[in-house]
């Protein structure tokens, strides 16, 4: 038998596979209609595990066994997609606890930000809420979260990621602990400067103070000038500390130009970041689970079991639903099993039936699943 004949056989088998796949999807549709009538859940983990074990037992070697396992996992993913879409269309599934609004209500809002006056968080807050916003500041990220949780503020603005130094781990940890949702994401350019008391020379400086992110982002400048860096709660607070220090100590702060100006410091060197393009993303969070039609980013968190292919199976869902994943990060949970918490951003809006179906699929399948918000970056 030559190659062309073998290929013809494969083509014939493939047509049979396609016909059987369409027949299976038609039965899946009938299953969804039954579940709509009876109120049953789409995902039955025990049934799927038994099904996978059954089809694997039909194979004759390990290679085919693994192949059939992957094949049927994909087939069942497509089946769940179809069922979730039908259930969502009938209003029987997928009612996420979020309220669609025309736009966020920011008039008369009270806003909290972490850090002192002159911080980048304050600049990000003004970017979204304007100069005349009713705002107050707190010392720590947790304090800002607590202000939202207790109702003393409507929104909080916190840093989440820097293009140079990476994620702000503590904020991710707090998002996991509090029932608070991302309403907007704000990107601003970070321009660090070295500032000290008026009359100070750069050659006098031995110690600098800044937030750990600021120190990381200016590490080349610090090394070049043989400076000793001390971590501080935030860049603006570091500027305030230097402003109140003894002039003979010759302290300096790595902060924003605004921070130096507000605290009466002299800028000794400007644009001292390791790279020219340095941006920080801030999240605007709220206790209200709202989204608007313009929102196009969705964030979630979850954990996965330590089993072969668990991450692969989760990622495959995005391909199945035709949804673009923008970012995924992992953070240790901090338990004896070294479990991992994942944070994931993807493109979408809750009004999209595919998005709603995907979220319900993920929520049913993943451990410690949490929806963090549907928002837009400005």
- Residues designated as active site: 280, 282
Question: Do the beta carbons of residue 221 and residue 275 sit within 8 Å?
Answer: no
Listed residue (129, 92, 123) closest to 279, CA to CA: 123
* DSSP-based three-state secondary structure for 30: helix
* DSSP-based three-state secondary structure for 280: strand
* Residues ≥6 apart with Cβ < 8 Å to 152: 110, 112
d(CA 160, CA 151): 22
Instruction: Using the structure block, give the residue that is written with the tokens 């209609």.
Output: 33
Opening angle at CA 261, ends 255 and 263, nearest 5: 80
Q: Residues, the chain, total?
A: 378
* DSSP-based three-state secondary structure for 16: helix
CA distances from 102 to 291, 293, 345, 347, 355 (A): 8, 7, 23, 19, 19
d(CA 298, CA 327): 11
**Phi then psi dihedrals of residue 130, to 5 deg:** 95, 170
CA distances from 242 to 5, 71, 160, 233, 250 (A): 82, 63, 26, 13, 9
Question: Do the beta carbons of residue 129 and residue 111 sit within 8 Å?
Answer: yes
Q: Using CA of residue 290, residue 148, residue 112, residue 302, what is the dihedral sign?
A: negative
Listed residue (160, 138, 161) closest to 150, CA to CA: 138
Please, what's the largest Cα pairwise distance for the chain?
92
């Amino acid at each position: 038998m030559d190659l062309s004949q073998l290929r013809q056989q494969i083509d014939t088998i493939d047509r049979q596979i396609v016909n059987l796949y369409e027949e299976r999807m038609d039965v899946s549709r009938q299953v969804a209609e039954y579940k709509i009538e009876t109120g049953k859940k789409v995902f039955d983990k025990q049934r799927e595990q038994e099904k996978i074990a059954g089809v694997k037992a039909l194979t004759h070697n390990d290679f085919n066994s693994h192949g059939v396992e992957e094949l049927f996992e994909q087939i069942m993913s497509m089946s769940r997609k179809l069922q979730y879409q039908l259930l969502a269309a009938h209003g029987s599934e997928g009612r996420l606890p979020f309220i669609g609004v025309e736009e966020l209500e920011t008039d008369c809002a009270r806003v909290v930000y972490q850090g002192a006056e002159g911080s980048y968080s304050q600049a990000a807050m003004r970017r979204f809420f304007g100069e005349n916003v009713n705002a107050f500041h707190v010392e720590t990220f947790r304090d800002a979260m607590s202000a939202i949780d207790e109702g003393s503020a409507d929104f909080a603005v916190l840093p989440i990621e820097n293009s140079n130094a990476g994620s702000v781990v503590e904020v991710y940890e707090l998002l996991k602990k509090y029932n608070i949702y991302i309403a907007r994401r704000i990107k601003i350019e970070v321009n660090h400067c070295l500032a000290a008391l008026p009359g100070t020379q750069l050659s006098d400086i031995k110690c600098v103070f800044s937030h750990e992110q600021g120190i990381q982002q200016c590490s080349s400048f610090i090394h070049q000038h043989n400076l000793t860096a001390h971590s501080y709660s935030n860049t603006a607070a570091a500027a305030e500390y230097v402003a109140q220090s003894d002039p003979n100590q010759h302290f300096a702060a790595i902060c924003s130009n605004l921070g130096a100006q507000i605290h009466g410091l002299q800028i000794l060197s400007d644009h001292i970041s390791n790279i020219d393009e340095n941006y920080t993303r801030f999240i605007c969070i709220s206790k209200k689970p709202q989204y608007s039609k313009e929102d196009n980013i969705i964030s979630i968190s979850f954990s996965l079991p330590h089993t072969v292919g668990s991450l692969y199976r989760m990622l495959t869902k995005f391909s199945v639903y035709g949804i673009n994943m923008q970012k995924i990060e992992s953070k240790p949970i901090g338990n004896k099993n070294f479990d991992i918490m994942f944070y994931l951003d993807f493109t979408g809006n809750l009004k999209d039936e595919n998005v709603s179906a995907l979220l319900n699929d993920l929520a049913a399948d993943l451990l410690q699943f949490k929806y963090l918000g549907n928002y837009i970056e400005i």
